[in-house]
Amino acid sequence: MRAAGTIALLSLVVLLAAGCGSGSGPTPPSPTPPSPSAATPPTVPTGAPPGGTSTPPVPVDPLVADPPPGTTALDPARVTTAGLPAGFPTLVWTRGARTLGVYGRAGGCTEASAALVGETAEEVTVRVTQTTTSPGPCTRELRYPVLEVPLAADLGQRRVVLTGEQR
């Protein structure tokens, strides 16, 4: 019974992977079921306890990633992200008292940048920009580059306002 469940799960993974392609190229072969004489059937780790059922583990979401080494994540309650386009990362960190960092969003035909657009005694405003660099054809990778901006004064307890645009 467990081998049948494993085969069904592997088949689903192959079908989902085939659906993520561009539609061109050969279809990957279906997995070969294990022979009845195999000592140990292949398994897919699920994070479930032995004998339990679970869905496969969800990969780490880059939109809620950890800050880079040597930095400190800012409390999300101090960050306003209403001005960011959907899908832009919202994590903010500091590197020392006068450097503020965010993740950009870039890929095949796009670049990311960040700029300090305002700094008052109460808040710091940073604009994250995703710029299209070519009409294509473009690869489909998506990267989240580290972007840091220097501040004129220590961040202290000021709020951070993230805005963004796509050009």
Residues 24 and 69 grouped into a single domain: no
On average, the pLDDT of the chain sits at 75
So what's the pLDDT on residue 20? 47
Structural domain harbouring 26:
1-58
Residues 50 and 68 grouped into a single domain: no
The answer, as to whether pTM is greater than 0.85, is no
Residues 3 and 70 grouped into a single domain: no
Contact assessment for residue 103 and residue 91, using Cβ atoms and an 8 Å cutoff: yes
Q: Is the pLDDT of residue 57 over 70?
A: no
Residues 77 and 36 grouped into a single domain: no
Residues 72 and 53 grouped into a single domain: no
Residues 44 and 89 grouped into a single domain: no
Domain end call among 15, 35, 58: 58
Q: What is the pLDDT of residues 142-156, one digit of tens each?
A: 888 999 999 999 999
Domain end call among 15, 31, 58: 58
Q: What angle is formed at CA 100 by the lines to CA 63 and CA 67, rounded to 5 degrees?
A: 40
Q: How many CA atoms lie within 13 A of 41 on its CB side?
A: 17
Residues 143 and 67 grouped into a single domain: yes
Residues 102 and 149 grouped into a single domain: yes
Amino acid letter at 73?
Answer: A
How many domains are contained in the chain?
2
Domain end call among 58, 80, 101: 58
Residues 113 and 139 grouped into a single domain: yes
Residues 142 and 66 grouped into a single domain: yes
24 pLDDT tier (thresholds 50, 70, 90)? very low
**Complete DSSP assignment for the chain:** -HHHHHHHHHHHHHHHHHHTS-S-SPPPPPPPPPPTT-SS------SPPTT---PPPPPPPGGGPPPPTT-EEPPGGGEEEEESPTT----EEESSSSEEEEE--EETTEEEEEEEEEE-SSEEEEEEEEEE--SS-----EE--EEEEE-SS--TT-EEEEEEEE-
Residues 134 and 69 grouped into a single domain: yes
